[in-house]
Structure 1
Amino acid sequence: MLAIWKGKGWVVPAIFLAAFADVQLFVDYFMGEGFYSDNRWVKVMALVAVAILVGVIGCLFNNRDGVIHVDSETGKKTKSPAHTLLFLPIEVWAVIVPFIFLSVDYFNAEQESKSLTYLEKPRVNDIYGVDFSKIFKNEDPTYKYGTMVVVSVNLNVIEVQSSTHAYDGKSGVRKDIFNGKAKEAFYYADEVTPFNVRETIKFYDDGAIFSVNRK
């Protein structure tokens, strides 16, 4: 069986997960609900602080408990870390985790910027992944995720057709968009619904539109 961690390597996920959860609760409690998620600088500061903590703990543990090996031929001494996660010393994760987090955060910011640009300047055949229950009344509260396709654009007003297919999760929608099924005419109802651009941007801000796709 593959050893995920050695020694106290488990402290890496424990500290990062616990710290982020506690920081979010703490910040939202004092600054108002949603403040943590709405302010990127808070996340970055929390990430840096936690990374420093993990780095310090890793250095202390491995400097104290590292195993010294002596080469029988050269007499050269080397020290191997006693506390690792996925074969990497604890302190290395103080760099890896922030790098992954910031990369994902940058990608998400780029996607959000692109989505807003597409919503501000819509085109025919743009496909929106949507939560119908946040847009229309009396929608199924379970099977509520589907798509809308833009069929016409007239200044700041668009007309869309809604999919006849709906899912209980966003993954089904993303799959249909990815494999091209959501591009087919049979996928949509004949009824056309008008929205203005301000409405669609508001839908995006509220999570009613969760993806914007353009080919």
Structure 2
Amino acid sequence: MFIIYGIRSKEHPVQYTHNVYCDNCGHTNHTAQAFTKYAHLFWIPFFITSRPILLTCDNCDHIMDKRELSKEDKKRVNQAFFTPLNTLPFFLGVGLLLLAAFLYHLDNQEIRQKELAMLDQPQVNDIYIADYSKLFNGIDFEGYNFGALKITSLQEDGISFAVSITSYRSDYGVERKLREGFPDPDSFVDDEILIPYDDVRKLYNSGTFSGIHREKADNP
């Protein structure tokens, strides 16, 4: 995949100033040209890198850079060219990233609320994505630390889980396999583990359990 990025420049409409003195001849009439240079990714502007302005004396054609102006003149010329209305579009990429982050946060909040509800009312066949390196102390999984635990029964003193045989490098690997279909019984070892109800919630809050999935009931 190619990533297209770089710096581009946009020229603003020419304006005419009548109150900036020419360093060469002393006249005050200038033709001003302004540019906004901005960084882009796939042609989407992300932020402004600079805003040069050139002033050409209408009398002697002497050219002055904005940096040569006094503080007051520079402020006046900047205000003539650059306004909030023509500035905001150059931060479109940042705005899109913030929006995406906000939507991602909302989605995560919704998922968490659903998972908390499943914690409160666990059901047989619920699948918990687990970090085996945290759940089973002292065992080296050689980087394949994530797997699936399936509820097999709800006991008086805790939840009985079957542990998946296959483990993955990340919880995303488990998520991907779950999207392909819930594991069949042969996917789990014969021995089950019993975890007290309170400990299940603690393991979820600590991140040892990073996700909970429930198979959707078939429509009648």
Report if TM-score (shorter chain) is over 0.5: yes
Q: How does 1:74-113 map to 2 (within 5 A)?
A: 82-85=37-40, 86-89=42-45, 90-113=90-113
CA distance in 2, matches of 1:133, 1:3: 36
Look up the equivalent residue of 1:152 and give its one-letter code: S
**Higher RCO (CA-CA < 8 Å; seq separation 6+):** 1
Give the 3-state SS of the residue equivalent to 2:138 in structure 1: coil
Give the 3-state SS of the residue equivalent to 1:151 in structure 2: strand
Structure 2 unaligned regions, length at least 5 = 15-33, 46-89, 216-220
Task: Give CA deviations for 1:117-149 in whole Å, capped at 9, x if unaligned.
Answer: 211210000001111121123322423211110
User: What is the TM-score with the length of structure 2 in the denominator?
Assistant: 0.59
Aligned to 2:168: 167
Contact 1:6/1:82 (<8 A) preserved: no
Over the residues paired in the alignment, what is the CA RMSD in angstroms?
Answer: 2.8
Identity %: 22
Q: How does 1:178-193 map to 2 (within 5 A)?
A: 178-180=179-181, 182-193=182-193
Give the 3-state SS of the residue equivalent to 2:189 in structure 1: strand
Look up the equivalent residue of 1:195 and give its one-letter code: I
Q: Which has the higher strand share?
A: 2
User: Structure 1 residues 193-202 or 84-93, which shifts more?
Assistant: 84-93
User: What is the TM-score with the length of structure 1 in the denominator?
Assistant: 0.60
Count of residue pairs the alignment pairs up: 150
Contact 1:5/1:83 (<8 A) preserved: no
Structure 1 unaligned regions, length at least 5 = 9-64, 71-78
Structure having the higher Rg: 2
Q: How does 1:1-215 map to 2 (within 5 A)?
A: 4-7=4-7, 66-68=10-12, 82-85=37-40, 86-89=42-45, 90-142=90-142, 143-154=144-155, 157-180=158-181, 182-215=182-215
CA distance in 2, matches of 1:175, 1:147: 12
